Amino acid sequence: MNMLLARNWWALLIRGVLAVVFGVIAFVNPGITLAALVLLFAAYSLVDGVFSIIAGLRAAQRHERWWPFAIEGLLSIVVGVIAFAMPAATAFALLMLASAWSIVTGLFRIAAAIRLRREIQGEWLLVLNGVLSVAFGVVIALFPGAGLVTLMWLVGFYAIAFGVILIALAFRLRSHGARPPARPARAR
């Protein structure tokens, strides 16, 4: 496996460069990145729905429970069609879901800190974490455009970091592949 990776170091290099390019595009033009991600989600949802329906048909042929697969498949296809037809609404819905998640988890952290104040020192850090989470969720809900741009910047940052790591790994593997293989130790 190691030699296979070393021989194909260039594939990791290409993946890394493409990830960095994607990350830069996410920073420079977050709107295009968001549109691409929404369309990718829509396509995935459609394909997933088709495969779920196929699984349901195969289960029906074996006289097994088929309807959960069929329902899941139909719902996935409907979600995919909606995402293709209304990409802005899909992006907004995903952002509002992230906002609600941030607010709810923040409130749970604050509640946990209040319950734990008798048992631990420094519970204020958990309160602070919860307050920041709630504030983040509220700001996203109040300013969804800024929230979408910020989300794309986070995706861009991740892609650039991921790409740089892959590029570094590719060059390490390249130098590893240039060395002659180590000889196995002889048994005495």
pLDDT (tens digit, 9 = 90+) per residue, 40-96?
Answer: 989 999 999 999 999 999 989 999 889 998 999 999 999 999 999 999 899 898 889
In a domain, 49, yes or no: yes
Burial (Cβ within 10 Å: 0-12, 13-18, ≥19) of residue 33: buried
Q: Considering its fold, how many domains does the chain have in total? A: 1
In a domain, 186, yes or no: no
Cβ neighbors of 109 (< 8 A, separation 6 or more) are 126, 127, 129, 130, 133
pLDDT number for residue 184:
63
In a domain, 39, yes or no: yes
Q: How many whole angstroms separate alpha carbon 20 and alpha carbon 13?
A: 11
| This model's pTM is above 0.85 | no
pLDDT number for residue 179:
60
In a domain, 182, yes or no: no
Task: Decide if 52 contacts 70 (C-beta within 8 A).
Answer: yes
Domain holding 51, by residue range, is 2-177
Residue 67 is classified by DSSP as H
**Which residue's structure tokens are 């396509």?**
43
Q: Quote the percentage of the chain above a pLDDT of 70.
A: 90
117: region left, alpha or beta (phi > 0 left; psi from -120 to 50 alpha):
alpha
Cβ neighbors of 179 (< 8 A, separation 6 or more) are none
pLDDT bin (cut points 50, 70, 90) of residue 187 is: low
**What is the token pair recorded at 98?**
């992230």
CB count, 10 Å around CB of 154?
A: 11
In a domain, 44, yes or no: yes
In a domain, 67, yes or no: yes
Q: How many residues does the chain have?
A: 188
Per-residue pLDDT, averaged over 107-112, amounts to 90
pLDDT number for residue 33:
87
Q: Which residue, 23, 47, 159, 150, is CA-closest to 91?
A: 150
pLDDT number for residue 168:
92
In a domain, 125, yes or no: yes
In a domain, 183, yes or no: no
Q: How many whole angstroms separate alpha carbon 50 and alpha carbon 32?
A: 27
Burial (Cβ within 10 Å: 0-12, 13-18, ≥19) of residue 137: buried
Dihedral angle sign, alpha carbons of residues 179, 180, 181, 182: negative
pLDDT bin (cut points 50, 70, 90) of residue 177 is: low
Task: Cite the DSSP H helix spans in 62-143.
Answer: 67-85, 87-116, 123-142
